[in-house]
Structure 1
Amino acid sequence: MFNGTRKRSFVWLTLTLALMLVLSACGGGNTNNSPAVDNPDNAGSGKKVKLTMFIWAGSNQDTVPKEVVAEYVKKHPNVEVTFEESSNSVMYPKMVAGKQADPNNPIVNFGYFNADATAKGLNDDMWEPLDTGIVTNMKDIPEQFHTSDNKGIVWGVSSFALVYNKNLVKTPPTSWNDLWDNKEFKGKSALWDYMFYSYLSPLIAVKGEELGASYENPEPAFKFWAEHSDQIGTLVTSNDQLKGLLDSGDALIAPFSAQVAQTWIDGGSPLAVAYPKEGAISFPYSLQVVKGSTPEQQKVANEIINELLSAEALSRYAEVTGTPVTSTAAAVPDKYKNDPSFSVEEQSKGINPDWNALAKSSSAWKEQWDRLVKTKL
């Protein structure tokens, strides 16, 4: 699925994460303090192992995890799983706050996390190692998608490209430069607030040398966006908000997940995806168990993660969300066989953000964004 260049990119990503040892609950919340049992399968005790799972909201991201969990609970009646549905940008800060309040009572026990949250979690000591004796389906995922300490597993790789309204955009974008320089998009670009890898990482990759901008010295990139702030029409915080803006034409373009956008297109949205000539942003997705969960909760979480990593579950996830998966046992759905995001050639061109630097510098980058850019919006 991935050629040599791609593999080297992910070996780098994995090593970066390994070297680092790299949403408030609106609903049910976690229940670590409720009675637990030594054996989750012991239906006779009347006690339950209760967990909260984090999943992404919208765009069919909930379909497979809810199906897999429902099947698991049917076979394990002493297990109860509730769901928190949101975005990592919203949920992760709440997880950090929850850990600070009570490290033994995490807001969520396990779930789906993107590369940004994964790197921050490694930096914040947020993850438990996966139990390789339970998560045996890891064997079908190439080593470059594992971390040396098994604090999570990369099961899918999205591509962040340029999503635009094809009915209203006269000339389709071809380059990341279109995002900040194209006059057709003046005041009509939608950016995800604080999702720096989607608009600062490509800027650093494309114009970093010219601007003197780098991950170690990002201020020139923030100043550049400040000078081009008239391109920005809206800052968004949810998939549904972004979809509504693009569908209506209130926004004409956004750097966003090509896979999520494809589900919108399949549903009838008047959108298209352009893969910039400089390459899309490579964006790994992981499954993780959250530190502070009880041994019983960890066991159940590992068992469910193993089911989520099965060839059948990953193939179905790819089918309903358009996300390329990493398992060598999972089949590429027919409807995506010609999708550029599943293409080895396209994936090999990917821009790989420095997730380590982004995780360690998160607060500083937010301060510069707020001070230099948001004050001009």
Structure 2
Amino acid sequence: MSIQKPKRSYILPAVSLAMMLALSACGGGNNANNAAGNNAAGNPDNSPAAGSGEKVKLTMFIWAGSNQDVVPKEVVAEYVKNHPNVEVTFEESSNSVMYPKMLAGKQADANNPIVNFGYFNADASAKGLNDDMWEPLDPAIVTNMKDIPESFHTADNKGIVWGVSSFALVYNKDLVKTPPTSWNDLWGSEEFKGKTALWDYMFYSYLSPLLAVKGEELGASYENPEPAFQFWADNSDQIGTLVTSNDQLKGLLDSGDALIAPFSAQVAQTWIDGGSPLAVAYPEEGAISFPYSLQVVKGSTPEQEKAANEIINELLSAEALSRYAEVTGTPVTSTAAAIPDKYKDDPSFSVEEQSKGINPDWDSLAKNSSAWKDLWDRLVKTEL
């Protein structure tokens, strides 16, 4: 059974582009093929990996924990076995930690990126477009893009959306007497007072739903976010902990030190499958739609770009995406990939559930990241 096309597009705004995920299958390739061929004399397929010269060394960014490393490490292991002239090392972390390091590295030396390619969430992808971080994918190499609907292709091929997660309300089902049903429960329920865990600076998970549900009432918007920050400041007694890693959040929820958190339903499901006493509630106003992309980092050498494109193509195969969905619970966008049996009744794989999701203004979040951090630090964190 193939995954169904969604009823709506997950369009992410971007910099000077009208939309990050504009319906655009066109896009500039790069000069990786010619440059790699020039550096791999006698190599009939122009692959730097098959050459006899120096090793092509790349660093790949992957998410830490929750089985997120399983498929990329399997695919890369197979690739380097067949391309002995390529060496891939991994950086495992979160986008909230890694992206600022990437930006600092780019500012220090644009031709020496700290990672060459990898997995990036919607927030990091939008910031990368603003910061000119991404190199276009080469559609002549990344041929498996053909199985992904054009609504998930980025303008100029600066990445490809391979999966769409849902941010919902994750809670400890053994300790919560009344399961949450609305985003209003996150900031207004007496049961969760002092027991709500929020990811520090992950504004799309608790400011975006606030803007969607109460923005008009508060006079708050992406253009005028201060009233929303002030609302959280006024309700700061709801917040028990600010977290910075998946493992930290899981530990807090498992132990009951935190009872609820807005977080990835898919990551939470892997915890539940592993025995955690948690459950996921999809708010009646809709979950946060959260696309995931694969992207190549600008500043990589032509040889690195070519190898990165080839590995990304393997990661986009129906088999690799089906396995990624199997081990992480992430809905994937390829029409060729099968929905794992255990997730066929999962709401996050449901077209109906996806169609009513809340779409954050990723462009505003990216452009105003520093200002929003200042508001959070000044208005909210001083109250904790």
Residue aligning to 1:19: 18
- With over 3 angstroms needed to count, the CA separation of the structure-2 counterparts of 1:354 and 1:21, relative to structure 1, is closer
- CA deviations on 1:254-308 (whole Å, 9 max, x unpaired) are 0000000000000000000000000000000000000000000000000000000
| Structure 1 segment 100-249 matched on structure 2, within 5 A | 100-249=107-256
- Following superposition, the deviation at residue 15 of structure 1 comes to 7.2
User: Under a length normalisation based on structure 2, what TM-score does the superposition of the two structures give?
Assistant: 0.91
SS at match of 1:52: strand
2:327 aligned with 1:328, yes or no? no
- Residue-by-residue CA offset, 1:34-85 (whole Å, 9 max, x unaligned): xx9534233533x200000000000000000000000000000000000000
Q: 1:178-211 CA deviation, whole Å, 9 max, x = no partner?
A: 0000000000000000000000000000000000
| Residue 275 of structure 2 corresponds to residue 276 of structure 1 | no
Let me know the Cα RMSD of the aligned residues: 1.5
* SS of match in other structure, 1:235: strand
Q: What is residue 69 of structure 1 aligned with on the other side?
A: 76
3-state SS in 2 of match to 1:95: helix
Q: Which amino acid aligns with 2:153?
A: H
* Residues 112 and 90 (structure 1), Cα distance of their counterparts in 2 relative to 1, 3 Å cut: same
CA distance in 2, matches of 1:189, 1:21: 32
Identity %: 85
Distance 1:241 1:85 in 2: 15
Which residue in the other structure is 2:297 paired with?
290
Q: Alpha-carbon deviation of 1:19?
A: 2.7
Structure 1 Cα separation of the partners of residues 204 and 232 of structure 2: 14
3-state SS of paired residue (2:12): helix
Extract unaligned runs of 5+ from structure 1: 23-35
1:25 alignment counterpart: none
The residue identity in structure 2 corresponding to 1:103 is A
Q: Which residue of 2 aligns with 1:94?
A: 101
For residue 174 of structure 2, give the secondary structure of its aligned residue in structure 1. Answer: coil
Separation (CA, whole Å) in 2 of partners of 1:295 and 1:332: 35
**1:17·1:356 contact (CA, 8 Å) conserved in 2?**
no
Q: 1:147, CA displacement in angstroms?
A: 1.4
Query: Aligned AA for 2:303?
Result: E
Q: Which amino acid aligns with 1:41?
A: A
What's the CA shift for 1:2? 3.7
| Structure 2 gaps, min length 5 | 22-37, 41-46
Q: Which residue of 2 aligns with 1:29?
A: none
Aligned equivalent of 1:319: 326
1:52 touches 1:83 (CA, 8 Å); kept in 2? yes
2:262 matched to 1:255? yes
User: Residue 19 of structure 1 aligns to a residue in which SS?
Assistant: coil
Letter in 2 for 1:159: S
Q: C-alpha deviations, 1:198-246, integer Å up to 9, x for none? A: 0000000000000001000000000000000000000000000000000
Deviates more, 1:64-73 or 1:13-22: 13-22
Shift of 1:13: 2.6
Equivalent position SS for 2:49? coil
| TM-score normalised by L of structure 1 | 0.93
Shift of 1:21: 7.2
Contact 1:37–1:48, Cα closer than 8 Å, also in 2: no
1:86-138: CA deviation from partner (whole Å, max 9, x where unpaired): 00000000000000110000000000000000000000000000000000000
Cα pair 1:315 1:330 within 8 Å, conserved: yes
Whether the aligned pair in 1 keeps the contact of 2:200 and 2:243 (CA below 8 Å) is: yes
Change in Cα spacing, 1:125 to 1:238, as seen in structure 2 (3 Å) is same
The residue type paired with residue 104 of structure 2 is: A
In structure 2, C-alpha distance between the alignment counterparts of 1:171 and 1:197, rounded to whole Å: 25
Asked if residue 307 in structure 1 is aligned to residue 314 in structure 2, the reply is yes
By how many angstroms is 1:150 displaced? 0.3
